[in-house]
Amino acid sequence: MLNNIGLPGLLLIVVVALVLFGKGKISSVMGEVGSGLTAFKKGLREADLPEPTHGSVAPNLDTPSLTDKHSVETRT
């Protein structure tokens, strides 16, 4: 059904849309569609970035840990 529209059919659709909605309404709708697409692409780019993990911080080697045998005093 939509395979046979062609250039004259598209021009007719554009003219009818301009008559029904007016130039201002169509330009505002297209601006909203463009900003929506921009936000969608930004969201896709942010989804591709790796998320930081909680264990990615290097341990502080200056403070003794509880499992270190040399830092833990033994009571006798």
CA distances for 1 relative to 4, 7, 39, 61, 73, angstroms: 7, 15, 33, 71, 85
Quote the CA–CA distance of 31 and 25 in Å, as a whole number.
Answer: 10
Higher pLDDT, 59 or 14: 14
Q: Global pTM?
A: 0.45
The Cα 31–Cα 36 span in angstroms is 9
Q: What is the pLDDT of residue 38?
A: 95
pLDDT in tens, 28-70: 989 999 999 999 999 988 887 776 666 555 555 565 555 555 5
11-15, 16-20, 48-52, 56-60: segment of lowest average pLDDT: 56-60
Count the Cβ atoms, other than its own, within 10 Å of residue 55.
6
Residue 4 binned pLDDT confidence (cut-offs 50, 70, 90): confident
